[in-house]
A and B are shown apart, each in its own frame.
Chain A
Amino acid sequence: MSPAPNRDNQKLVDRLTALVGAEIVHGDAVALESYSRDATPLFHGLPEVVVTPRSTQEVEEIVKFAASTKTPIIARGAGSNLCAATVPLNGGIVLSMNKMNKILEVDRAQMLAVVQPGVTNQTLDETVAKEGLMFVPDPGSKNVSTIGGNVATSAGGLRGLKYGTTKNYILGLEVVTGTGEVIRTGSRMVKDVAGYDLTRLFVGSEGTLGIFTEITTILNPRPRAAKYGVAYFTDLAAASNAVDQVVRAGILPATMEFLDNPCILAVEEFAHLGLDTQAGALLLFGDDGEPDFIDAAVGKMAQIAAEVSGSRGVTLAADTAAADALLYARRCSLPALARLGTLSILEDISVPRPIMSDAVKGINEIGKKNQVLIGTFGHAGDGNLHPTIVVDKNDERAVHGAEKALKEIFEMALALGGTITGEHGVGSAKLPYLTARLGEGQMQLQRGIKSVFDPAGILNPGRLGS
């Protein structure tokens, strides 16, 4: 939120240009302004220079230079993150990794891929699909977000319950640490316990421990079929109950996504799918696998959803195209909600799934109490909720109400044994709440860890471990 120091950047630009060439060093006002935001509202800060490296060696040279001059480096993928993890609040170098976007290897025999960090989720998944494989992590923004960003935030997505998230799929990394040293963590093997699991430590490190230059990821066989359906309920609590019943029945579906009424309205306005806009909640459910198996599982889910109290009806998607349209619409929930106001603040709490309905009720009460509109959607299968507060940014009372509501939502999540962020990350937006989540002891350990990897404190300073 604080503006970047408005230093004359010419000296920095000249030195970097001499080091790695003018082609990848951008110091003009237009470039700086363009990289001053990510997808988090209210955060803005100008970098002093933008660098777009093409190789590990260039990254190494830049980091060594930054370490020797104590210049901050903010690594960035697609800039689609939602916690202000890539806004350059302290000036410095924005290291835009999206031009290192090659898929280096797809190994069918070992079921893995080796990629550069700038490859997008969608591109990787579409590429491996040709080999009958699937890249599993599936963030809502997959058409734009990069694998490097996935690793930096341990991104989740729409199928966490059955498949887990990014952390479950990264086998190894090539990383440039804060001293400019290039290390290779992990390996190509699923089993490898030689030493501390540094790979897992880097996953979710938000650019504070090192810059990823190569990522080795597990691939799954591509499921032969998938089937999806939509169930409507009077409210989110009824939908939560249905989710609970499904899991209790021994079904572990790939996808259980829900939207409350404001979300249904916003998504319908964009996607025109004929959703039931009178419903209090929508549950998008589905599974993938062998055709017979998913027929049975999805049939059973539909039956449960139709029988719980508060059900308003269930329909199954007629074909893949219809299912894809539903999933795509769900992915668009957040930006579609932006239609309802001029400021949308999205949150990302996670709570144990069996008490999800308590969280949902709590969110509604918090919204009413602070007189702000909160649209909630989320990954019902894994207890990860995205309450989104939508207000008019010029309405001071509403903006104040939104801030208060946010704080209360975090407090509620922690009181329920949940967490302040399930998949978006801490960044700058949630840093004020991190101590409440981890405690001072763990915070100290985190700072200690950062200082080992980044003794000069140049990697995304002011964020995790700072």
Chain B
Amino acid sequence: MRVALFLTCVNDLLFPDTGRAVVRLLERLGVEVDFPMAQSCCGQPHYNTGYRHETEPLVRGMAAAFAGYDYVVTPSGSCVAMVRDNYPRVAARARAEGRPDGRLDRAAETLVPRTYELTEFLVDVLGVTDVGAYFPYAVTYHPSCHGLRMLGLKDRPLKLLSAVEGIELRELPGAEECCGFGGTFAVKNSDVSAAMGQDKVRNALDTGAGVLCGADNSCLMHIEGIVRHEHAPLHTLHLAEILASTREQPYRPPVSEAKIR
């Protein structure tokens, strides 16, 4: 089984810890994981802002970067949704505009069935829900919209989290409501975006958990931005870092331990 890690551009630059956690986690589960250096961005920021034509080279680039692997695994539901829902559209709409491009067609055909969000890969492909993790903190989980609604991740993340030793999961009120990130929405409609994020943070604080966990760092970056702006006692963390944490190699919080309890 040849598995490629598609880390995503945001994680590569801003959240390398998540990438390291995915690698540690998958290697611990016996998966040999590779990181093709040619990867960059799935094109979602371009596509969702309206620049479909500018997305096309990135779609072709993704297909080239991940050719030959059995599975492409990524710790971002949003980027998987881009591939699964929108790559076929990018190809079909180029065709409809009289610019058929076989490489776009093939990119969609070959990437869609092989691209998995991390929790899908763990539960559906590897068939594990208990990954042997240890994380002795109170955690609340925010299901990001694209994972929740476009991919239908359902209870996969929560199954994985509830099997973690020592964890105390607390239900997030209004969990299924968007955090307000939405890519360029966060700046184009910054007031509404921030209002949504502030409500999300308030709901998370109400749980009393010190850690807000998610499976999409873009959303967490927005939420964390509000947390830090408001000096709220909350620490955001990607689910992969919780699953990677073990008794032998426990998660080391960048903030003081007391703050996340």
Q: Do A and B interact with each other, yes or no? A: no
